[in-house]
Structure 1
Amino acid sequence: MKIFITGAAGFIGGSIATALVKQGHQVTGLVRNAEQEAEMLSLGITPITGTLDDSGLLCEQARQADAVINAASSDHRGAVDALIAGLQGSDKVFLHTSGSSIVGDASGGKGSDVIYYEGQLPEPTVDKAARVAIDNLVLDAAKRGVRSAVICNTLIYGHSLGVKRDSVQLPRLLKQAQKSGVVRHVGSGQNIWSNVHIEDVVALYSLALAKNPAGTFYFVESGEAAFADMSNAIAKALNLGPAQDWPLKDAEAEWGYEMANYGLGSNSRVRGKNARELLGWVPKRTDVTEWILNEML
């Protein structure tokens, strides 16, 4: 297949693009500059230079491709509009990357027993309403002749499969610990996130390219862990003392509002059946603390 990927120089998009090239697909990736162009070429990916604001470029690339994966941003509505416009009426696959902070509760590190399921999502918080609206736009594209899907990833761990990029959440805990000598989590760290290994994420995207039923929402998860357990595993891997609680205001000063409240300070507990039942997805890596202890560094 000829596949167009936005975010091809990023952690998720780069890992997917690299794997798809190895599978024999012809992959074109949206990049921002000459340095990223060279990186793409070295991995066998054809670079297209532009931004998510280049609606005409995105629309044309979508028209030319056999399938499209948006892995650049979960929050750029203009890019999604342009990609759908290029795909409508074609019955081509469009995989849009979202993230499970859409059900995050910004609890400040407190735990929660609430678990969310596909098809039973809560009203989004004010902070996440725009992202959920984009997700719904993608799902509604099924009515416009697009085999669309929202792939809603949880906390992704593991090392990039192609480009040298970090994932979003755990590397921030690691870098703060390496900088300060103290591993810290938001509040008491009792907040729990579902999680998944990048290799299993890539496998799911590959399956969805071949089998996705139009208008499907997927939660992508293969386990869950409290941040206190993950941060203590980081402390053990670094030979540091036990992880420490951190007031939310200090975490915000280090990581910013969004990351401190949602990425690292919320609960995001979900269960995904669709990938398993509709695509035959079987995740192989299911223990994030084992990965932290044995592979993260």
Structure 2
Amino acid sequence: MKVFVTGAAGFIGGSIAAGLVKAGHEVIGLIRKPEQIADLKKIGVTGVVGSLDDRDLLIAQARSADAVINAASSDNRAAVEAIIDGLAGSGKVFLHTSGSSIVGDASGGLGTDRIYYEDQLPEPTPDKAARVAIDNLVLAAAGKGVRSAVLCNTLIYGHGALPRDSVQLPRLLKQARKSGVVRHVGPGLNIWSNVHIDDVVDLYLLALEKTEAGAFYFVESGEASFRDMTAAIARALDLGEPQDWPLEQAKEEWGYEMASYGLGSNSRVRGKRAREQLGWAPHRPSVLEWIANDMLNRPG
């Protein structure tokens, strides 16, 4: 297949693009900077320079491709609308990347017993309502002749195909290296479901081939508390025990969104649909094993 991938120079998009190439697909990757063309060429991807604001470009690429994967942004509605307009009536696959902070509770590092399932999603907080509306727009595109699906990723760990950082753990690592102290938001009892980037790539490849139109998938293979993850980071760096960090101080380091949701919330979900409908079988090391054995061993 010829697959158009947005965000192809990023952590998720680059890894997906490389996986597609290895599986025999032709990949056209949207990038923002001309110098990123060389990065994509190394993984066998043809780069197209543009942005998510280039409506005509997105429509043209969607029409010329056999499938589209949006891995650039979960929050750009205009880009999603353009892709859907380009694919309408074609029966082609559109995989949209979302993130499980849509169920985040901004608990300030406190824990919860609440677990969410794909058919039992909560009303979003005001902070996440716009993202959920985009997810619903993608799912509704099934009624416009698009084989659309939302892949809602949890905390992703692992080393991607390109030298890029994932969203959450690298921020904890950077702060620890800068200060000499590993910190988590509040008491760090908050729990996130998580998944290895290589298992994520496997799922996108399966969804490309087999997804039903209008399907929503949580992407997870386990879960861990931030206190357990920061303790593993502290051991890997040979630092002292991780410390609690009041939310307001964490915001000064990481900003409101990252401190409140990415690092300070609970996001406990279960991804049954990918396993049952697509045959997805994640099998990479757990997040705590990866932190202990692989986090500091980035290839290259």
- Fold similarity call, TM over 0.5: yes
Alignment of 1:257-272 (within 5 A): 257-272=256-271
The equivalent of 1:109 in structure 2 is: 109
> How far apart in 1 are the matches of 2:42 and 2:185?
39
Report the secondary structure of 1:171's partner residue. helix
Residues 1:214 and 2:209 are matched in the alignment:
no
Report the secondary structure of 1:164's partner residue. coil
Q: Say whether the 8 Å CA contact 1:18–1:45 is kept in structure 2.
A: yes
The equivalent of 1:69 in structure 2 is: 69
The equivalent of 1:282 in structure 2 is: 281
After superposition, what is the alpha-carbon deviation per residue over 1:150-177, rounded to whole angstroms, capped at 9, x for unaligned? 00000000001x2110100000000000
> How far apart in 2 are the matches of 1:7 and 1:121?
27
Q: Which amino acid aligns with 2:84?
A: I
The equivalent of 1:128 in structure 2 is: 128
Report the secondary structure of 2:30's partner residue. strand
Residues 1:2 and 2:2 are matched in the alignment:
yes
Report the secondary structure of 1:285's partner residue. coil
> How far apart in 2 are the matches of 1:235 and 1:35?
36
> How far apart in 2 are the matches of 1:245 and 1:195?
22
The structure 1 segments of at least 4 consecutive aligned residues displaced by more than 6 Å after TM superposition are none
> How far apart in 1 are the matches of 2:182 and 2:264?
15
CA drift of 1:18 comes to 0.7
Q: Say whether the 8 Å CA contact 1:101–1:262 is kept in structure 2.
A: yes
The equivalent of 1:17 in structure 2 is: 17
After superposition, what is the alpha-carbon deviation per residue over 1:19-58, rounded to whole angstroms, capped at 9, x for unaligned? 1111111000000111111111222101110000000000
The equivalent of 1:143 in structure 2 is: 143
> How far apart in 1 are the matches of 2:285 and 2:152?
17
TM-score, normalised to structure 1's length? 0.99
Q: Report the number of matched residues.
A: 296
Q: Which amino acid aligns with 1:52?
A: L
> How far apart in 2 are the matches of 1:42 and 1:201?
21
Q: Say whether the 8 Å CA contact 1:4–1:29 is kept in structure 2.
A: yes
Q: Which amino acid aligns with 1:45?
A: V
Q: Say whether the 8 Å CA contact 1:11–1:167 is kept in structure 2.
A: yes
Alignment of 1:29-68 (within 5 A): 29-68=29-68
Q: Which amino acid aligns with 2:284?
A: R
Identity %: 74
Q: Which amino acid aligns with 1:190?
A: L
Report the secondary structure of 1:126's partner residue. coil
The equivalent of 1:196 in structure 2 is: 195
Residues 1:158 and 2:163 are matched in the alignment:
no
The equivalent of 2:182 in structure 1 is: 183
Q: Which amino acid aligns with 1:99?
A: G
Q: Which amino acid aligns with 2:125?
A: T
> How far apart in 1 are the matches of 2:32 and 2:157?
25
Alignment of 1:235-250 (within 5 A): 235-250=234-249
Q: Say whether the 8 Å CA contact 1:102–1:131 is kept in structure 2.
A: yes
After superposition, what is the alpha-carbon deviation per residue over 1:194-239, rounded to whole angstroms, capped at 9, x for unaligned? 0000000000000000000000000000000000000000000000
The equivalent of 2:78 in structure 1 is: 78
> How far apart in 2 are the matches of 1:35 and 1:130?
32
Q: Say whether the 8 Å CA contact 1:90–1:145 is kept in structure 2.
A: yes
CA RMSD between the two structures: 0.6
> How far apart in 1 are the matches of 2:242 and 2:232?
9
